[in-house]
Chains A and B, each alone.
Chain A
């Protein structure tokens, strides 16, 4: 047992802090950004380019692709420091498209896309979910029909960031409707910018952001944009490069929220008593602090297992389900602690902590649904982790 990071990783932590203080184009103490939101995405892209210049955006990539082959624990340090400051440095291009191309892409595809991903020149939108295919993703119905050198794509993709400055979409499409559902899917890259037949709608979310709904009406996608074998797209999409995937950003973000709430409790009164002196609030906030700490350790374990070439299976699902649910509870408690003020929107002059807690609470429900709902995660823990029989 040894719970400390290597000294060189701790040095790296300081380096990141200094860099962020100097280079971040917004004030992380005052402002939370949603990278999938239109107005924020430009700022985020600017900063990502700076990270790209540092080589940090692709630190997890193999050296042959211009990465640093950074250790899992070093990635943890980076992700923690970014998330603590509310910076979304996770990028679908870097984390998903790049690695998939490295494993399945043609030389031409690698040449075309990898450098641009590494420099954050392309904003990627994920085209997986559809209005009728959520948890049962493999039931997706967006059709791609072969026609000469192209696929002709029709259907719709939802819950993406296509509306927010996105250039390309990596998507799963059905190329063989008669095959078993997992075996008729292909993975294609589709340019969105100026594409005929593409309609992008903005879906207002209950928090201060939108998600995209993209409709494809006979959109022509060149066959050279097919990644991997036709009809093997399900497996292409499931490919993972060995990134740290502990979800350590959640406890790191939550740590900051905890600190903000502790300060709030030390400065504000409820019914004439300092909140920090209220035994119920002390108990509840301390309980969340323990849950956040436990989440952090579970995340460290996932990254550590990866560093040992062990495959985190149920462990990764555990951090996802427990982490997202803990974050949701924490924000909910935050609003309660703030009392009537907790309900105020970010733009109110009365809103404590600029309304960040209110908005983040609304947004935190998304965490328990996106990328495998809590229910799907629990199924994974039970069936793959504990080997319980499928229903």
Chain B
């Protein structure tokens, strides 16, 4: 057993903290909340230079070939520093879909460009039904000769507005899991996008497909087998989000403890009051739990071990824990924590968004219920 970070992970963590504290200060995060693109190509290039975009991409495709658990260490820090932009959607959603289902040709086409920072990707999965199951995929792909025609609407597509390609989940048959994946250039004829305004000020879009034609070479993996990949991507996505939340929770705890030491009322630091101390102790407990329940699932995913139980437990726990941590952070900060000027609100808005992504607590608890034999 080894519940700590190995040397390489420790180094990655330190490097990430150094890099992000310089390149992604809260001023940048705030700027990007208002920015049209939501990220800057300058920082994107620097991130590519760090090797992070290709962190888990095999060396033969120009990546660093580390494991998913290493990526989780990096995502923790990105959560702590609230890195804006399409890193997650490119690496975890788009990149890992291609790594899982792509043909040799597709891997050669996309993965080196992801690693080098040349393309931005995303996953177009959810639709107006907002379901996470295969039945929620109603957008159709109809085969005609050596091409497919896509029709339907995707909703809550992350960073579609700046993506070069979308991995689109489409219905290609009548039985529930007859889903196929396609790599679709975002600029294709017949695609119309509308940006959504969201609680976390991230960039999500409604993407309408109106007779969008793609060649059959755009098919990712086998026809009607796409749901298998989606299920894996959902797990990677859920644990990736858990890592971000875990890192964010650590930062909220640190901020709150610092504030409690400095803020004086009744002639003493509020951190000397037992009520505030117990808030902080409860936050520390939630942060501690978040870390290990996330690591356990990340480790199993990295090792290729069955992880349904661990992933469901992690997403169920961390979604609630991060929300509790932010709530206590607010309570301990008092009114200043609710102001736009304060960073607390940046975290609590993201906590809520992450809570509902890739299945909320109830969704995952139902999975847990099945797994424990109910």
> Do A and B interact?
yes
Please give the residue numbers on chain A whose beta carbons come within 8 Å of chain B beta carbons, in ascending order: 1-6, 73, 258, 262, 265-266, 276, 279, 281-283, 285-287, 289-291, 293-295, 297-298, 300-301, 304-305, 307-308, 314-315, 317-318, 321-322, 375, 377-379, 381-383, 385-391
A262 in contact with B372 given A1-B295, A379-B274 (CB within 8 Å): yes
The answer to whether residues A389 and B271 also contact, given A297-B289, A382-B277 and a CB cut-off of 8 A, is: yes
- Which listed residue, B3, B257, B300, B372, touches A388 by the CB 8 Å rule? B257
Q: B272, B280, B289, B365: which contacts A283 (Cβ < 8 A)? A: B365
Q: How far is the CB of B371 from chain A (nearest CB, A)?
A: 8
What 4 pairs between A and B have smallest CB-CB spacing?
A: A382-B277, A378-B281, A381-B281, A297-B292
B338 partner residues in chain A, CB cutoff 8 A: none
Contacting pair A283 B369 (CB below 8 A)? yes
Q: Given that A294-B289, A318-B284, A389-B272 are known contacts, is A286 also in contact with B374, CB under 8 Å in the complex?
A: yes
Digitize B297-338: 1 where CB-to-A-CB distance is under 8 Å, 0 elsewhere. 011101000000000010011000000000000000000000
**B contacts with A: majority SS:** helix
CB distance from B105 to the nearest CB of A (A): 34
CA gap between A295 and B302 in the complex, in Å:
23
Q: Quick check: B2 and A286 within 8 Å, CB to CB? A: no
Q: State the CA gap A287–B300 with chains docked (Å).
A: 21
* Total cross-chain contacts (CB, 8 A): 157
Considering the complex, give the chain A residue whose CB is closest to the CB of B302: A1
Q: Which chain B residue shows the least CB distance to A381?
A: B281
The interface residues of chain B lying within 8 Å CB-to-CB of A293 are 293, 313, 317
**B2 A2 Cβ-Cβ under 8 A:** yes
In the complex, which residues of chain B have a beta carbon less than 8 angstroms from the beta carbon of A382? 271, 277-278, 280-281, 284
A282 and B363 CA atoms in complex are apart in Å by 11
**Docked pose: A203 CA to B216 CA in angstroms:** 79
* Shortest Cβ distance from residue A299 to the other chain B in the assembled complex, whole angstroms: 10
* Minimum CB–CB distance for B361 against chain A, Å: 8
Report Cα–Cα, A346/B257, bound state, in Å: 46
Q: Are A286 and B284 in contact (CB under 8 A)?
A: no
The answer to whether A386 touches B374 (Cβ under 8 A) is: no
A2 B1 Cβ-Cβ under 8 A: yes
Verify A304–B2 contact, CB threshold 8 A.
yes
Contact indicator B1/A73 (Cβ below 8 Å): yes
The yes or no answer to B41 lying at the interface (CB within 8 A) is no
A283:B366 contact, CB within 8 angstroms: yes
Cβ of A287: which chain B residues have Cβ within 8 Å of it?
316, 361, 365
Contacts of B271 in A (CB 8 A): 382, 388-389
Considering the complex, give the chain B residue whose CB is closest to the CB of A301: B3
Q: Which of B268-300 contact A (CB under 8 A)?
A: 268-269, 271-274, 276-278, 280-282, 284-285, 288-289, 292-293, 295-296, 298-300
Q: Which residues of B contact A265 (CB under 8 A)?
A: 374
- Asked if A290 meets B2 with Cβ closer than 8 Å, knowing A285-B369, A381-B285, the reply is no
Given contacts A282-B374, A294-B289, whether A300 and B3 have CB atoms under 8 Å apart is yes
Contact indicator B284/A379 (Cβ below 8 Å)? no
* Further 17 A-B residue pairs, CB within 8 A, beyond A262-B374, A283-B365, A297-B289: A1-B4, A1-B5, A2-B2, A2-B299, A3-B3, A4-B1, A258-B372, A285-B374, A286-B372, A290-B316, A304-B1, A304-B2, A382-B278, A386-B257, A387-B261, A388-B272, A391-B268
CB of B59 within 8 A of chain A?
no
- Is B260's CB within 8 Å of the partner chain A? yes
- Assess whether A3 is in contact with B299, with CB atoms less than 8 Å apart: yes
B69 within 8 A of A: yes
Can you list 7 A-B pairs, Cβ within 8 angstroms, ordered by A? A262-B374, A283-B369, A297-B289, A382-B277, A388-B269, A388-B280, A389-B271
Residues B368 and A297 in contact, CB atoms below 8 Å apart: no
Contact string against A for B residues 216-254, beta-carbon threshold 8 Å, 1 for contact and 0 otherwise: 000000000000000000000000000000000000010
